[in-house]
């Protein structure tokens, strides 16, 4: 932290000298690119974690506060504890990354500084504010309880405001490298730095990342819980971590299902910025990358559903619903196949014609996504259905209108599925221009169905008769491996997308403005990238384990810190998450 600030204050002087410096230096042994790659990815992993987790930690805290349920308060504290442990590592990696840039890519860094210098101070200040707020949030947990709880919750909210602001600033640098704006052809800033910040990909990446970070935080927290579950000695501990894993996964899943939409928006903006870049990304040398992305996403969908189904087994009364599982598997598997079909998402001549010439060069590529849109929407619906069945597994509604309610729910789901499929198929018979609009109807149908079903479900099962309490802790241990699978897959996916993000610039540091003239200007093929991603992902998990262990978080049977007693979640408790 201190190192970071010292460095930042030393920058202007460095920038002046930089003119005399060489453009590149070589990092010993592995070369500069791999060094920067590894540290950047690690830094991003940690940063994503410490920005993502507080978002849902504070929501969980608020739930605990409003319902007076100590269990949620404990869980929130547990999540913040994980964040807290990862804080200094994040800062350290950030400082290291800065060292690498200044030392090994001096010319590049000087250029970035010439544009973004005003933002550096903001970044440092925000980082300070964030650290400080989380510090009080964490250590003030007991002090700010009871009637002062609202102050505590506000601190949580505030730390999220700072965290998100940090993300926005850092994203402006990355996105500028992809889609520079506000500069002339020689790369000099034309007006204010705002134009450079607010470039084509900035907002879409902000949104995509924010959501991805929540998913990431959720999966890592769930994996942590799974790890503790597997090592647990008592039933009580098992029950507690089973529940924590469940919530972590629930958070991840809820954010995960909106990620595809954010992804399309990002892809569209990349096309809008530069056709050639968009085409290189989706159809050029990177086209294979998206097949792997699709497979990983398929694994994530399948895994989350499987986890829910396994979870049902610890719920008495769930037998009623198990017969649906084969059907759900069928839909998912089929959706997965369509989603992963290597049809490159490229505009062909006919499609360009159908689009009406010059008029929709940007939206065109979305159009051919018809089948994939349909598949992913069906997978989202299916996952939601799994969740609904899970929710009601041990409940029998006592409301007189239950028959009607259920009928409406099924009708809503059926209707949404019909709308999705109808527009998916019909999309092939109309011009792309019309078809593009269809994906909006599909999304609306899915969101609408989710809304209707939940709006009925919540009152319908209020005060429902229970067929038995959820036996927390009795879930099959293989479910915990599913949670770990999800965390590993998602982390790996982040690495892969990081490669995509940097790779689309090809031999440019700043696309179209500053060429990469280093020995590493070749953008490697996917296999090489995968090896690298795996190495870094292993390093990430090793570091996480080490840090959690250092922080005493791994100690058996002592889940509480400074007097925070873990609540008992008995195997027979009837808590509804």
Footprint on this chain of ligand HEM (rule: CB under 6 A)? 44, 48, 205, 208-209, 212-213, 259-260, 263-264, 266-267, 297, 493-494, 497-498, 500-501
Judge contact between 399 and 269, C-beta under 8 A.
Answer: no
* 358 lies in the binding site for ligand HEC (CB under 6 A): yes
Nearer to ligand HEM, 211 or 388 (CB): 211
Tell the smallest beta-carbon distance from residue 29 to other proteins (Å): 22
The encoded tokens of residue 508 equal 């440019």
Nearer to ligand HEC, 147 or 358 (CB): 358
Over the window 276 to 315, marking each residue x when it contacts ligand HEC by CB under 6 A and - when it does not, the resulting string is x---------------------------------------
Tell the smallest beta-carbon distance from residue 200 to ligand HEC (Å): 17
The encoded tokens of residue 228 equal 């503790």
Q: How does 200-233 read in b/e, with b if 16+ C-beta sit within 10 Å?
A: bbbbbbbbbbbbbbbbbbbbbbbbbbbbbbeebe
Judge contact between 246 and 300, C-beta under 8 A.
Answer: no
DSSP code of residue 148? G
The encoded tokens of residue 67 equal 């319902």
Q: Residue 54 touches which of other proteins, ligand HEC, ligand HEM, none (CB < 5 to 8 A by kind)? A: none
Which stretches of the chain bind other proteins, using CB under 8 A?
184-186, 190, 226-227, 230-231, 272, 274-277, 279-280, 283-285, 288, 291-292, 295-296, 346-350, 352-353, 355-359, 361-362, 364, 481, 484-485, 488-489, 492, 503, 506-508, 511-513, 515-516, 521-531, 533-534, 537-538, 541, 545
Tell the smallest beta-carbon distance from residue 326 to other proteins (Å): 25
**Residue whose beta carbon is closest to ligand HEM:** 263
Nearer to ligand HEM, 43 or 238 (CB): 43
Task: Mention every residue, 6+ apart, whose C-beta is less than 8 A from residue 572.
Answer: 469, 471
* Contact with ligand HEC (CB under 6 A) among 164, 198, 275, 344: 275
Tell the smallest beta-carbon distance from residue 455 to ligand HEM (Å): 26
Over the window 316 to 355, marking each residue x when it contacts ligand HEC by CB under 6 A and - when it does not, the resulting string is ----------------------------------------
Nearer to ligand HEM, 48 or 98 (CB): 48
Q: Residue 529 touches which of ligand HEM, other proteins, ligand HEC, none (CB < 5 to 8 A by kind)? A: other proteins
Tell the smallest beta-carbon distance from residue 309 to ligand HEC (Å): 46
Q: Which helix (H) or strand (E) is 466 found in, with range? A: strand 465-466
Whether the CA torsion 565, 571, 576, 577 is positive or negative: it is positive
Q: Residue 213 touches which of ligand HEM, ligand HEC, other proteins, none (CB < 5 to 8 A by kind)? A: ligand HEM
Integer Cα distance of 317 and 110 in angstroms: 65
183 forms bridges with which residues in the sheet?
Answer: 189
Q: Residue 259 touches which of other proteins, ligand HEC, ligand HEM, none (CB < 5 to 8 A by kind)? A: ligand HEM
Q: Residue 459 touches which of ligand HEM, other proteins, ligand HEC, none (CB < 5 to 8 A by kind)? A: none
Judge contact between 442 and 389, C-beta under 8 A.
Answer: no
* 147 lies in the binding site for ligand HEC (CB under 6 A): no
Q: How far from the centroid of its chain's Cα atoms is residue 542's Cα?
A: 20
- At CA 249, angle to CA 406 and CA 539, rounded to 5? 160
Integer Cα distance of 517 and 379 in angstroms: 44
- At CA 28, angle to CA 26 and CA 29, rounded to 5? 120
The encoded tokens of residue 237 equal 């501990």
Q: Residue 481 touches which of ligand HEM, other proteins, ligand HEC, none (CB < 5 to 8 A by kind)? A: other proteins
Q: Residue 539 touches which of other proteins, ligand HEM, ligand HEC, none (CB < 5 to 8 A by kind)? A: none
Helix 32-67, helix 477-503: angle, nearest 10: 130
Q: Tell me the H-state helices in 257-348.
A: 259-273, 275-282, 287-312, 319-322, 325-340
Of 294, 2, 47, 285, the residue nearest 164 (C-alpha): 47
User: In which residue are the tokens 């399309």 written?
Assistant: 264
Q: Residue 260 touches which of ligand HEM, other proteins, ligand HEC, none (CB < 5 to 8 A by kind)? A: ligand HEM
Contact residues toward ligand HEC (CB under 6 A) are: 275-276, 358
């Amino acid at each position: 932290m201190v190192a970071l600030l010292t460095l930042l204050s030393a920058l202007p002087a460095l920038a002046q000298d930089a003119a005399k410096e060489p453009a590149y230096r070589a990092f010993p042994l592995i070369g500069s690119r791999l060094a920067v790659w590894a540290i950047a990815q690690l830094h991003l992993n940690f940063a994503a974690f410490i920005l993502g987790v507080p978002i849902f930690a504070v929501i969980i805290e608020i739930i605990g506060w409003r319902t007076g349920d100590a269990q949620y308060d404990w869980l929130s504290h547990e999540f913040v504890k994980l964040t807290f442990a990862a804080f200094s590592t994040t800062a350290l990696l950030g400082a290291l990354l800065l060292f690498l840039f200044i030392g090994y890519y001096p010319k590049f860094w000087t250029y970035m500084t010439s544009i973004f210098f005003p933002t550096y101070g903001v970044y440092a200040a925000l980082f300070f504010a964030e650290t400080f707020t989380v510090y009080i949030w964490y250590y003030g947990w007991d002090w700010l309880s009871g009637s002062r709880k609202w102050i505590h919750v506000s601190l949580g909210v505030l730390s999220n405001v700072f965290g998100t602001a940090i993300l926005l600033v850092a994203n402006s640098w990355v996105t500028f490298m992809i889609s520079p704006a506000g500069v002339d052809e020689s790369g000099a800033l034309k007006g204010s730095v705002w134009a450079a910040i607010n470039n084509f990909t900035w907002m879409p990446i902000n949104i995509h990342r924010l959501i991805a970070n929540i998913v990431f935080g959720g999966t890592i927290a769930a994996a942590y819980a799974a790890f503790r579950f597997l090592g647990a000695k008592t039933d009580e501990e098992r029950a507690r971590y089973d529940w924590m894993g469940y919530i972590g996964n629930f958070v991840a899943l809820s954010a995960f299902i909106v990620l595809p939409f954010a992804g399309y928006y990002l892809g569209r903006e990349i096309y809008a910025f530069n056709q050639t870049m968009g085409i290189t990304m989706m159809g050029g040398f990177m086209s294979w990358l998206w097949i792997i992305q699709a497979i990983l996403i398929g694994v994530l969908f399948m895994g989350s559903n499987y986890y829910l189904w396994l979870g049902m087994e610890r719920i008495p009364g769930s037998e009623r619903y198990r017969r649906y599982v084969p059907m759900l598997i069928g839909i998912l598997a089929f959706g997965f196949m369509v989603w992963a079909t290597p049809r490159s998402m490229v505009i062909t001549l006919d499609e360009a014609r159908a689009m009406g010439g010059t008029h929709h060069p940007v939206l065109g590529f979305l159009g051919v996504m018809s089948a994939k849109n349909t598949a992913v929407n069906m997978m989202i619906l299916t996952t939601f259905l799994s969740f609904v069945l899970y929710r009601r597994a041990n409940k029998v509604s006592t409301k007189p209108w239950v028959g009607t309610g259920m009928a409406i729910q099924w009708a809503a789901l059926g209707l949404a599925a019909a709308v999705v499929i109808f527009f998916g198929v019909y999309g092939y018979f109309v011009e792309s221009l019309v078809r593009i609009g269809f994906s909006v109807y599909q999304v609306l149908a899915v969101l609408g169905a989710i809304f209707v079903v939940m709006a009925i479900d919540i009152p319908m099962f209020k005060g429902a008769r229970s067929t038995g309490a959820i036996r927390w802790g009795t879930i099959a241990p293989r479910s915990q491996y599913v949670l770990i699978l999800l965390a590993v897959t998602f982390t790996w996916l982040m690495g892969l997308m990081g490669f995509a993000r940097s790779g689309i610039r090809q031999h440019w540091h700043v696309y179209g403005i500053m060429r990469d003239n280093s020995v590493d200007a070749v953008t490697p093929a996917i296999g090489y990238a995968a090896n690298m991603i795996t190495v870094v992902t292993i390093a990430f998990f090793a570091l996480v384990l080490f840090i959690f262990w250092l922080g005493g978080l791994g100690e058996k049977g002592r889940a509480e810190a400074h007097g925070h007693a873990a609540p008992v979640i008995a195997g027979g408790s009837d808590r509804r998450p």
